[in-house]
Amino acid sequence: MAVWRIIDPLFAGKMNRYKGIEGKNIAIAMIQAAKKQSQKVNLYNWNEINQLLLARGVPD
């Protein structure tokens, strides 16, 4: 949604975990996480998803 591009910069500090992420990037991050799976269930916040994307070479 276009509205997230406008309000994303407002999410700072503890609110950083609620930033928007495009669906295709979520899919890429899920594949990366599955390759590194160490637990049955793991919750990823925005920063961790971005780290997975950067490791894959996908810009944020």
HSE value, Cβ hemisphere, 13 Å, CA-based, for 48 = 9
**Inter-helix orientation angle 46-56/23-35, to 10°:** 80
User: Is 4 contained in some domain?
Assistant: no
In a domain, 52, yes or no: yes
pTM above 0.75, yes or no: no
Number of domains observed in the structure of the chain = 1
Q: How far apart, in whole angstroms, are the C-alpha atoms of residue 55 and residue 14?
A: 24
pLDDT of residue 24: 92
Asked whether residue 16 is domain-assigned, the answer is no
Q: Which ranges of the chain have pLDDT less than 50?
A: none
Measured in whole angstroms, how far is the alpha carbon of residue 1 from the centre of its chain? 16
Q: Is residue 5 part of a domain?
A: no
Closest by CA position to 54, among listed 17, 28, 27, 18 = 28
Q: What domain range includes position 36?
A: 21-60
